[in-house]
Amino acid sequence: MQSLRPATNLKLIINSALSFTLAFNLVFFIQELFLALGKKWLGLKAILYHNNHNWEGSHPMETLAQGYGAAAILIVAVMAWAIVKMMKPGNSFYLFFLWFSFQGFAQGLPQLITATAAPDTDTGQAFTYLKIGFWAGVGISFVTMVLLVWIGTAYSKLFLQMAPGDAYVSNPYLRYRYLTQVVLLATLAGIVLTIPYRIMPWSRAMAPLIVSLISVPVVWLYGWKVRQLKAFNNPVNEKLQGPVMVFLVLLLIFFQVVLAKGLVI
Domain positions in the chain are: 17-264
User: Residues of 36-55 as b/e, b for ≥16 C-beta within 10 angstroms?
Assistant: bbbbbebebebbbbbbbbeb
Give the Cα-Cα-Cα angle 106, 112, 114 (nearest 5 degrees). 100
Q: For the chain, list the strands marked E by DSSP.
A: 45-48, 53-56, 263-264
Amino acid at 205: A
Chain segment 179-209, per-residue pLDDT in tens: 999 999 999 999 999 988 876 566 667 889 9
How far from the centroid of its chain's Cα atoms is residue 193's Cα? Answer: 14
Chain segment 9-56, per-residue pLDDT in tens: 999 999 999 999 999 999 999 999 999 999 999 999 999 988 889 999
Whether the per-residue pLDDT at 264 is higher than 60: the answer is yes
- How many Å apart are CA 82 and CA 114, to the nearest integer? 27
- How many Å apart are CA 47 and CA 264, to the nearest integer? 4
Provide the percentage of residues in the chain whose pLDDT is more than 70. 95
Provide the percentage of residues in the chain whose pLDDT is more than 90. 78
134, 116 contact by CB (below 8 A): yes
Amino acid at 229: L
Q: What's the predicted TM-score (pTM) here? A: 0.94
